[in-house]
Amino acid sequence: MAVKQIVYDAIRSGTARSPGLLRAADWKLWTDARTLLNKYIKEFSGGGVRLETTGSYAMVAGKLGAHIAANAYYDGTNWNRYDTAQAASFIAVGQGQFLFYSAPAGANPIVWSVSAAQVPGASMAWLPLTLNPPRCRLYRTAAQSIPNVTGTAVSWTAAHENVAGAAPAAIWSAGTPTRLTAPIAGRYLFTATVAWGASAAGAMRHINLGAPGFQFAATGIPPIAGGYSPQMNVAGVVGMTAGSYVELNGYQDSGGALNLISDGGGQYPQIQAQRISP
């Protein structure tokens, strides 16, 4: 039997062969392989295995390419599922590009569906922004007065979160407190919550998301009698160019100034924003 096959069989069985069955050089090959496996391949509960190093880097490398697969293995002829009741997938890397493959549960061998086309390495700028997008969650620490029949942008005073992520800057700056500015082009999701001061006067309480000259999401309700403070929510997705901004605007017609009240705990008024796609 070939030495490589003996070592391979021993590794798979998890038991050391007797030194008497191998030449000294072959036994050393086996023990060296077993030492490396014990050092870098770790098993954990549930049957999982991980490749691990406590040094600087770990890699899977091949001259022409490399694959990382889930519920899939290659037998030299076909790709097969370990569990035919579960879907399978793998990533193939090679020749300056990568491909995503997937297949639903079903009988072996696997018939793969290939993801959208190959992705050249030069166009990978989207990946860190997708994994770590710019995002913020802002609030006011005190009430803000909204004048009668005058649309007014909410001025934010504090942040639960204001993270640039992989973008060149964060979305919000205290220097322009009403504006949520796109640090990089893309589609952004906005959600906001406010509560109006109690008043039954007038006909409308209104909020909208937008900037001077346009709005992309809005909602309005009539005033509520009985001393209640109505809460309102608004949400929308908008495409933004780098440097463009969005504001949350309030409008009311009670006949005098009316507050957007603060709960003091950062729940309202509140706005959230996050880049969700290119």
For 254-271, the DSSP string reads: SSS-EEE---SSSSSSEE
Same domain, 203 and 164: yes
Point out the domain boundary residue: 103, 123, 143.
123
- For position 244, which CATH number holds? 2.60.120.40
Q: How confident is the model at residue 162 (pLDDT cuts 50, 70, 90)?
A: very high
Q: Do both 266 and 139 map to the same domain?
A: yes
Query: Where among 92, 108, 123 does a domain terminate?
Result: 123
Angstrom distance (rounded) from CA 127 to CA 278: 10
Q: Running DSSP on this structure, what letter comes out for residue 26? A: H
For the segment 29-41, the average pLDDT, to the nearest whole number, is 69
At 131 the pLDDT is: 73
Residue 178 sits in the same domain as residue 255: yes
Write the burial class of residue 102 (CB in 10 Å: 0-12 exposed, 13-18 middle, 19+ buried). middle
Task: Give me the domain span that covers residue 25.
Answer: 1-58
Asked if 264 and 216 sit in the same domain, the reply is yes
Poorest-pLDDT segment among 24-38, 170-184, 219-233, 242-256: 24-38
Per the structure, the count of domains in the chain is 3
Strand partners, 218: 208
Of 38 and 215, more confident: 215
Q: Are residues 12 and 103 in the same domain?
A: no
Same domain, 273 and 230: yes
Q: Tell me: pLDDT of 75 over 90.
A: no
CB 255, CB 202: distance < 8 Å: yes
pLDDT at 63: 73
pLDDT at 64: 73
Q: What is the pLDDT of residues 172-200, one digit of tens each?
A: 999 999 999 999 999 999 999 999 999 99
Q: What is the pLDDT of residues 98-122, one digit of tens each?
A: 677 788 889 999 888 765 444 554 4
The predicted structure's pLDDT at residue 4: 47
Picking from 104, 123, 142, the residue at the C-terminal end of a domain is: 123
pLDDT value at residue 124: 53
Q: What is the radius of gyration, based on Cα positions, of the chain?
A: 30
User: pTM to 2 decimals?
Assistant: 0.60
At 210, the pLDDT band (50, 70, 90 cuts) reads very high
Q: With cut-offs at 50, 70 and 90, classify the pLDDT of residue 50.
A: low
Q: Which of 31-45, 76-90, 209-223 has the lowest mean pLDDT?
A: 31-45
